[in-house]
Amino acid sequence: MNPEEDLFTTIIEKLLTGAFICSYSDSIAFEQLESESYRSSVNDYLRKIGRSLAATNSGGAYYAVYTSIQSNTRRQSVRAQFREIVNDLEPVSRWLKLVMATLSLDASIQPGDSLKQSELLAALENSQPLVDDLSTITRVGTFQTKKTSPADQVRVVLERLGEKGYLCPQSSGLVYTATGKWDYFYEVADFIATHERLDEEYSDEEQIGLPV
């Protein structure tokens, strides 16, 4: 298999795992997907297996979605992802507010932003209310941990966000870069905010464009 075929296979495999490909998580793959002809080739392949290529509204990240979720298996899979996203919304949103307050940011995290553990910890040391907020965030749910020190709690949160594809660690492992998946998170949050009543009808899930 030549390098081009290797890259194509790698991109397909990533998309099928539900990964978001952006310039920060995989610059080489993202550059390829920026080519219309390459996207067409990827889409042609995905459609053969019931998927298609989607992008965030900003065009900053690509991911795969089901072309149809009529089958029970796919519907159950999508509903499970929908529930996971809904369950993540509150803790992740609270974490975002904590980061904004801790680092005195005017705006929420955006793709390409860097998060340094050292900066977060230095700021937390000077604010007991923020330490208390961090403890609350890590007590239950997405970021739950039995760790009690702020340093350990921050590490757990950053690692969990990395596992979910929102952050990618730099070489040191102490600095993280925000990925294009944040655009998707904000899109889903906005979608849900416009609906007063959330149910599990697949039409809502389909409109959101959940990854496979």
Are 31 and 80 within one domain?
A: no
Q: Which residues form the domain of 97? A: 76-193
Are 105 and 148 within one domain?
A: yes
- pLDDT on residue 6: 93
**CATH number, position 35:** 3.90.1150
Are 86 and 171 within one domain?
A: yes
Are 43 and 148 within one domain?
A: no
Please give the structure tokens belonging to residue 50: 């019931």
- pLDDT on residue 1: 62
Are 145 and 53 within one domain?
A: no
Length of the chain: 212
Are 42 and 130 within one domain?
A: no
**How many domains would you assign to the chain?**
2
Positions in the chain whose pLDDT score sits under 70: 1, 196-209
Q: Is residue 211 part of a domain?
A: no
Buried b (16+ CB within 10 A) or exposed e, 35-45: eeebeeebeeb
Q: Which of 66, 90, 121 is the last residue of a domain?
A: 66
- pLDDT on residue 183: 96
- pLDDT on residue 202: 45
- pLDDT on residue 62: 98
